[in-house]
Structure 1
């Protein structure tokens, strides 16, 4: 018995192969174009600056070890790119001491920055009766008695890059801003009602990852 030749079947297979090759080729071309655009534009990370911190409350109890803090911070972000926009999404900001979070996260509003734009946020950060580990309590007490406490203002969220109508995938952004708070005359703040305000102008570290 001989196998019958079916020209229509062969033509159909050839058509499927050609379509598959065309799709793969199109995907490769698109990927190359995206990489070329990315390489030519060379997007830079946004830059963050912690301008000031206002302390309304910062009280540590010893038995039990509880910390109550109430502060407002002014944080500036700048898009240094001349051709690329930046979209900030789901940014949470909070304060920590020696890697322990001491305030609840505050959600910053979704923000789009055009080319070389600035954005300024002034959120309040609250932490009422936050349990502190005994060894951290000892360190914090020593720092407060010594007159200087170093807090870390952290921001975690997502960013996307925008060029024309093209929008990149989502990237993780981590921002760390050291805030040196004086409880003595070594770094002078100024009174704002019952609060103490400190002008810091502290550059923050910005990390971008997938």
Structure 2
């Protein structure tokens, strides 16, 4: 084989590699363009959560530093998307006070939320003699004496998006709902079966 033939063979190989690289680059560009196009058409928006009401049946601090609570909450979720459905899979709801969890997690029922649909959950969250830090016990006693307390109702779990017949992988969802509750003479709630119900309609923050 002459040097000329070897040179032609090398040039053909370089052209082939260049064409393969160009094809791969074009494929990647088309995939990215398709993803961008789907996003522009669908404009996915995270669900909107609202804490509608809180019913407090028990909320007591006992010595040395224990908290017993029994609370029913009503949480509404709304899917604002026109073309995207949402599967809510494993979702736990619980309450915190100053970043410390004060109730056991309660599992919400799995459900599917269609386009522009609304779901409502009304679970009980409770904790029996939950140990809390000494400074939190002092803060709770002070807040209750003042007639008000701020707790946060939180939801942590997984969801999946549904577009047509396609269903995505799981995404983590964190929902945080502040609940400002008044006690004692300043109570503004409604007595319901030995509990006090507070109408809140409080928007929640949602991270996905």
Kindly state the Cα deviation for residue 28 of structure 1 after the two structures are TM-superposed. Answer: 5.1
In structure 1, the partner of 2:196 is: 196
Q: C-alpha separation between the residues in 2 aligned to 1:32 and 1:194? A: 59
Q: C-alpha separation between the residues in 1 aligned to 2:113 and 2:28? A: 30
After the TM superposition, which of the residue ranges 193-202 and 167-176 deviates more from structure 2?
Answer: 167-176
* Partner secondary structure for residue 60 of structure 1: strand
Q: C-alpha separation between the residues in 2 aligned to 1:150 and 1:98? A: 8
In structure 2, the partner of 1:85 is: 85
Q: C-alpha separation between the residues in 1 aligned to 2:167 and 2:23? A: 25
Instruction: Say yes or no: does 1:166 pair with 2:166.
Output: yes
Number of aligned residue pairs: 206
1:16-66, CA deviations, whole angstroms, 9 ceiling, x for partnerless residues? x99998677556534431231012211111111101111111111122x10
Does the Cα contact within 8 Å between 2:147 and 2:187 map onto a contact in 1? no
- RMSD, aligned α-carbons: 2.7
Name structure 1 gaps, 5 residues minimum: 6-14
In structure 1, the partner of 2:11 is: none
Bigger fraction of residues in helix: 2
Q: C-alpha separation between the residues in 1 aligned to 2:160 and 2:179? A: 27
In structure 2, the partner of 1:58 is: 59
Q: C-alpha separation between the residues in 2 aligned to 1:20 and 1:167? A: 32
Name structure 2 gaps, 5 residues minimum: 7-15
Instruction: Say yes or no: does 1:29 pair with 2:47.
Output: no
